[in-house]
Amino acid sequence: WTTGSIDPRFESKKFEMKYNPGLILNFKESTFGVKAILGNGRESLGITYKSDNYASSLLYPDRIHYLNMGYGFNNIKDTTSTRKYSTILGAELSAHTHIGSAVLDISSSFERKDENNSNDIRSSKIYNIRSKYIEDTYNLHVLWQVPKAYSHQLITVKGQYVNGYDGHVEFAPDLSRINYSVQFLEANMGYLYTRNQHKPWNYDLGVVAEYFYIDRNDFASTLSVSNAYLRIAPTFRLRYDRFHMDNIQLSFNPAYQKNLNNNLEYSTNSLNNFIQGVVFWDYDYYSTNAYQLSWSAKWTTKRISSQYWTGIRLTYDYHKNLDNSNSDALSSFKSNASLRHFTIGLFINL
């Protein structure tokens, strides 16, 4: 682990570009669209040293970092760096239509990312592809709006599914045998009622239900971790607007996170600092029930400048764990652990 203040120092350079050529068809009450998702990316990960003694000598074992690409392939990080070359292909479909006074918007997309990983040896200009990572992402978004004279109702449905896996190309060029796999699913449904009467004070009421699932498998380390939980979050927001000169928003958002199921499998021979200090803590965090609370206050005004909105924003987030880990072999996640986060900011809208 390093903070970047002492040798060795982690170095990361990443560039990714996406473009979406498409076709839009407009009809009397509806609009349909189809787009392609095209992109390329390049990333370089490495370790840098400010001290030449640490960079060129092997006399300091605590300053040496290693690169593990699976199946026993390791390199000392002071002599190598990792390069990733990615290609992105996909498509997106969308529709917008009016049904009476209601408005329906639907969009869905599929995106595949192929990433080639290589070890960049300083003494060689040939980049050998050591492993490949493939990630498929599916997205769905549905928005149903019912506008009225003094109110607005919205129903949203969102979903995302990610399936990723990688393998060593020298052992399995077609990735019939993989080294790592991950599956991620997040789905939520929400309702929001907004009152917009010609009065200084108005309000918003809503609720969101979210389902979260993640499954990760490191076959080289015989490690398997999965978590699933359900989260319910109501929304209460009070809005004040006086002659379009002062605007105040007060928001209160409690939430409850209910754990559904978990699974953890590992070999005692593969335990290391990363598994004990990161994987176990993540597993315990997602496997416990929790209560969350978010307060926010925002004030904007044009009294300072008639052309620009200026204001201040305050937020307070609170997270409280309601139980502890069910296994003594894990990270001993603290019972009733809590987290508080407070922010304050000034801003101007140009």
Name the residue type at position 42.
R
The predicted pLDDT at position 118 comes to: 79
Q: What is the pLDDT of residues 197-223, one digit of tens each?
A: 888 899 999 999 999 999 999 887 788
Q: What is the DSSP letter of 268?
A: G
Q: What is the pLDDT of residues 65-80, one digit of tens each?
A: 665 544 444 555 544 5
Q: What is the pLDDT of residues 81-111, one digit of tens each?
A: 678 889 999 999 999 999 988 999 999 999 9
Length of the chain: 350
pTM for this predicted structure:
0.81
Q: What percent of the chain has pLDDT over 90?
A: 46
Instruction: Kindly state the average pLDDT of the residues 22-41.
Output: 94
Q: How confident is the model at residue 3 (pLDDT cuts 50, 70, 90)?
A: very low
Q: For residue 175, is pLDDT > 80? A: no
Name the residue type at position 61.
P
Please indicate whether residue 325 or residue 322 has the higher confidence score (pLDDT).
322
Range 74-101 burial, b when 16+ CB lie within 10 A, else e: ebebbbbbbbbebebebbbebebeeeee
For residue 173, say if its preceding peptide bond is cis, omega within 30 degrees of 0. no
The predicted pLDDT at position 78 comes to: 45
- Residue 77 and residue 49 in contact, taking contact as beta carbons nearer than 8 Å: no
Name the residue type at position 57.
S
Name the residue type at position 188.
N
- Residue 254 and residue 292 in contact, taking contact as beta carbons nearer than 8 Å: yes
Q: Cβ neighbours of residue 98 under 8 Å, at least 6 residues apart?
A: 29, 30, 104
The predicted pLDDT at position 251 comes to: 96
Measured from the Cβ of residue 178, the count of other Cβ atoms closer than 10 Å reads 21
Q: Which residues pair with 48 in a beta bridge?
A: 9
Alpha helices by DSSP H, listed for the chain, are 52-56, 273-274, 280-286
Q: Which helix (H) or strand (E) holds 191?
A: strand 180-195
CA angle, corner 184, sides to 181 and 187, nearest 5?
Answer: 165
Q: What is the pLDDT of residues 228-273, one digit of tens each?
A: 999 999 999 999 987 778 889 999 999 999 999 989 888 887 777 7
For the chain, the average pLDDT equals 84
The predicted pLDDT at position 284 comes to: 80
Nearest C-alpha neighbor of 340 from the set 287, 292, 289: 292
Q: What is the pLDDT of residues 130-166, one digit of tens each?
A: 788 899 999 999 999 999 989 999 999 999 999 999 8
Please indicate whether residue 337 or residue 22 has the higher confidence score (pLDDT).
22
Q: For residue 334, is pLDDT > 90? A: no
Nearest C-alpha neighbor of 107 from the set 138, 150, 135: 138
Q: For residue 298, is pLDDT > 50? A: yes
CA angle, corner 228, sides to 288 and 332, nearest 5?
Answer: 30
Q: For residue 26, is pLDDT > 70? A: yes
In DSSP notation, 275-331 reads: IIIIIHHHHHHHTS-EEEEEEEEEEEESSS-SSSEEEEEEEEEEEEE-S--S-TTS-
Instruction: Kindly state the average pLDDT of the residues 45-58.
Output: 70
- Residue 303 and residue 246 in contact, taking contact as beta carbons nearer than 8 Å: yes
d(CA 312, CA 209): 30
CA angle, corner 91, sides to 89 and 93, nearest 5?
Answer: 170
Residue 286 main-chain phi, psi, to 5 deg: -80, -20
d(CA 304, CA 299): 13
Please indicate whether residue 57 or residue 290 has the higher confidence score (pLDDT).
290
The predicted pLDDT at position 75 comes to: 54
The predicted pLDDT at position 122 comes to: 56
Please indicate whether residue 9 or residue 247 has the higher confidence score (pLDDT).
247
Measured from the Cβ of residue 218, the count of other Cβ atoms closer than 10 Å reads 18
